[in-house]
Amino acid sequence: PEICWGKGHCTQIKLKDYSKFLREKLKNYGPFSSQTPYKQIVIVYSPQETGLSDSIIDDFYSDIVKQSLHLFKVQLPKNPIIWRFKGKYDLGKIEDYIKKFGNKLSGAISILASDEDPLYPMLKRMFGEIGIASQMVTANAIRKKWLEKNRYNSTLLNVVSGFLGKLGSHHWLLAENLYGDLYVGVDTIPNKAAIFTFIDNRGRYLGESWRPIGGRLIPADIITNVLQEWLNKHATAYEIRNIIVHKDGDLYSEEVNGFLGFKEENTKVGKEKRMTLISIKKDTPYRLYEARNGHIERCPSGSYLVIDQNKGLVVSYGKEFLTQGTPQPLFVEILYNEISNYEIEHAIQEIYWLSLIHI
């Protein structure tokens, strides 16, 4: 896709040395828009669980501040607040801190022991309930500075980009509007949380909402309530008619009922919404390859295949989509669609474009 930066500069994405490409554009043109936080930043971590110390945390945050100002032109507070806790059963202390000092915070960075840390949804929920932007980072990501220096810079770019985006900055946006007015990404952490991420029709991050769940299925009433709460808060921003949902994994019938229940509630009060529901699966038996001159070659990122009018495959961007040299594509399926002229090719293209600008 073509994306836009600051100073009105728009250019097509170059996937070769993608991180380098992003850095160069940010250096030359700056972000599309930036938001400077005027309140404090807090860092939450457990020295016992992560094996880190305050000095390491201070050093890491110093790198975040430098990267933020250098590339994104955003000055973060130089001296963060640090809240320490011992483990899961000590989280009550953090919850008390949030209730007491939450109105003095712009954002939070939580350091997790690992990608599977059970504290992830708990910390997200606690900060999310009072509207504080939060970024999660693993201890291993921080250790890359000493163990994998060449990968640390890319990790730092992702952390800073994600955090500033949640604080209200928009680094780069699509040059042209997508088909929907609002995109809702839906994911689950089984037996823990449902995560709803809201994106506008140029790829602008608008916010997220977390809800506790049991199992994998999201109850219909949770879906209806989350969407209605978000719409009530942002109804005056711009008109939202076409809503496209991207569900990571299976989309269950009760979840479909939840989205359609939201649509029906709005129809009753004269606010018609058109819904498109799409399931996106990463774990599939499919592989894509290209046969050329008797040789089998790997398909590049962005390659796609239409299976039928509602199903297709697309090779997204990133190492996780390569297995033994042959891309493992995303399986895309339109399960419900009310937007006229919106076809599987459009769904595939938009999923690919959004995956690139939110990498």
Output the pLDDT for position 359.
59
User: pLDDT tens digit string along 211-238?
Assistant: 999 999 999 999 999 999 998 887 665 6
Residue 312 clears pLDDT 60, i.e. is over it: yes
Name, in order, each residue with C-beta under 8 angstroms of 105's C-beta and a sequence gap of 6 or more: 39, 40, 41, 42, 81, 132
Residue 41's pLDDT band, with cuts at 50, 70 and 90, is very high
Q: How far apart are CA 10 and CA 3, in angstroms?
A: 5
pTM above 0.85, yes or no: yes
Three-state secondary structure call for residue 205: strand
User: pLDDT tens digit string along 75-91?
Assistant: 999 999 999 998 777 88
Q: How far apart are CA 277 and CA 152, in angstroms?
A: 37
| Tokens encoding 160 | 């800073």
Output the pLDDT for position 323.
45
Least confident of 117-126, 217-226, 268-277: 117-126
CB 167 within 8 A of CB 133: yes
- 234 alpha-carbon distance from chain centroid: 19
Q: How far apart are CA 86 and CA 278, in angstroms?
A: 41
Name, in order, each residue with C-beta under 8 angstroms of 232's C-beta and a sequence gap of 6 or more: none
Output the pLDDT for position 319.
45
Helix, strand, coil shares, percent, the chain, to 5: 40, 30, 30
